């Protein structure tokens, strides 16, 4: 293979890599964010539910955070190094203390670590609590480092919205103060539930 052939092949490989990057805003049906998608709940693709705009996805060699840029700046390499300000597309992070799926649709669910939950809570534009138990809300506020209010709302998860589900591994004591230590004793599991369609 000649040098020219080698360079052409490398260029083609790089172009393919760039295409993967630009595919990162597609919904699970393959439509770009904002494009019409009849398979998405609202008829418009809300984008990639696994990587909402404003998610920190990595770090450069020089320690700069890499962010998912808003739709209109995806093609600008600089935009990936600027944290988007309050992206409108981003839904508030829901906090649930039951793993009840609240709306018909398609979901993904995975177990997350407390550290991951803290990062999600800190980077969320807003917290949408559906925690109905006072002591649990207090302990979750401590655990996540954000205010998790008691809210006995009728919660309905939106397409593209992420929810952190808190599930104690045993029965919580009724009507008494619950501490982080108690919770450590009982043990708990955190799940990330994302509605993708």
Residues forming the site for Zn ion (CB under 5 A): 27, 29, 37, 39-40, 45
For the bound state, the minimum distance from the C-beta of residue 163 to Zn ion, rounded and expressed in Å, comes to 20
For the bound state, the minimum distance from the C-beta of residue 29 to Zn ion, rounded and expressed in Å, comes to 3
Nearer to Zn ion, 37 or 146 (CB): 37
CA 46/CA 89 separation, integer angstroms? 8
Nearer to Zn ion, 36 or 110 (CB): 36
For the bound state, the minimum distance from the C-beta of residue 39 to Zn ion, rounded and expressed in Å, comes to 5
Tokens at residue 154, please? Answer: 């009728």
- Find, among 190, 97, 191, the residue nearest to 136 by Cα: 97
CA 157/CA 196 separation, integer angstroms? 10
Residue 143's Cβ-side half-sphere holds a number of Cα atoms within 13 Å equal to 28
Nearer to Zn ion, 29 or 110 (CB): 29
For the bound state, the minimum distance from the C-beta of residue 196 to Zn ion, rounded and expressed in Å, comes to 9
Tokens at residue 28, please? Answer: 């699970």
Nearer to Zn ion, 27 or 124 (CB): 27
């Amino acid at each position: 293979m000649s040098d020219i052939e080698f360079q052409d092949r490398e260029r083609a490989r790089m172009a393919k890599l760039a295409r993967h990057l630009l595919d990162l805003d597609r919904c699970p049906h393959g439509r770009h964010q904002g494009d019409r998608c009849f398979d998405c709940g609202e008829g418009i693709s809300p984008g990639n539910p696994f990587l909402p705009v404003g998610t920190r996805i990595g770090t450069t060699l020089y320690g700069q955070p890499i962010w998912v840029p808003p739709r209109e700046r995806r093609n600008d390499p600089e935009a990936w190094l600027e944290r988007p300000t309050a992206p409108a597309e981003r839904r508030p992070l829901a906090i649930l203390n039951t793993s009840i799926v609240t709306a018909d649709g398609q979901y993904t669910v995975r177990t997350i670590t407390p550290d991951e939950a803290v990062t999600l809570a800190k980077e969320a534009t807003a917290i949408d609590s559906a925690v109905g138990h006072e002591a649990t809300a207090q302990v979750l506020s401590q655990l996540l480092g954000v205010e998790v209010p008691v809210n006995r709302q009728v919660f309905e998860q939106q397409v593209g919205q992420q929810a952190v589900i808190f599930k104690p591994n045993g029965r919580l004591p009724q009507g008494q103060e619950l501490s982080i230590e108690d919770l450590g004793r009982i043990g708990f599991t955190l799940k990330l539930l994302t509605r993708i369609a």
